Amino acid sequence: MGKLWSFFSLKPMKESDTEHKIEALKKHLDLFPHPEGGYFKETYRSTGITKQPYSGAEERNFSTGIYFLLVSGNFSAFHRIKQDEMWHFYDGDPINLHIISMEGAYQLVKIGRDFSKGEVPQYVVKAGDWFASEVNSSSGYALAGCTVAPGFDFADFEMADRKKLQEQFPKHRDLILGLTRS
């Protein structure tokens, strides 16, 4: 495993410190389990309201933001929302963001800060695309932020049904198997 870098101290962390760091992040940022996997806390919800362009006349806040923590050995299962979602990398190991477009094209985006390895610090998942994420390390964590516009509402969230998604995208069957929950 590569070095873990602490966002707060910018010094290398020992692998034995990782579990303590994860617990400290959950406590300090007041994170709790997310239905798709990982931990989160909403940090921003605009007061302005707009119409949800993807689903008709429903009203949504202009924008929302969350902290999102993933740990090795867990993943954020395939899901989709009706809005664009921008990911922002903050700390830890890189994130593998797996995307299957509505047309069935697969894309792997590495979110992190090692530009020499093709990682990017931000990435936008398009509205309606299926996506899942995992930490690109066997014993680490990744702290990210996600911004959704128009603002996130669980009414716009759809968790993938493994069997249906595999039937829709048979060439991604194994990936879907590994990043969905039964």
Q: Determine the 3-state secondary structure of 117 from DSSP.
A: helix
Q: What is the pTM of this model?
A: 0.88
Residue 42 belongs to domain spanning: 4-178
DSSP tag of 2: -
Q: Provide the CATH number for the domain around residue 38.
A: 2.60.120.10
Q: Distance between alpha carbon 35 and the CA centroid of its chain, in Å?
A: 12
Q: Judging by DSSP bridges, how do beta strands 106-111 and 95-100 pair with one another?
A: antiparallel
Tens digits of per-residue pLDDT, 78-89? 999 999 999 999
Q: How confident is the model at residue 64 (pLDDT cuts 50, 70, 90)?
A: very high
User: In 16-104, where do the E strands start and end?
Assistant: 32-33, 39-45, 49-51, 59-61, 64-71, 75-81, 84-92, 95-100
Instruction: Tally the domains of the chain.
Output: 1
Please answer whether residues 81 and 156 qualify as being in contact, where contact means their C-beta atoms are separated by less than 8 angstroms: yes
Tens digits of per-residue pLDDT, 103-147? 999 999 999 999 999 999 999 999 999 999 999 998 899 999 999
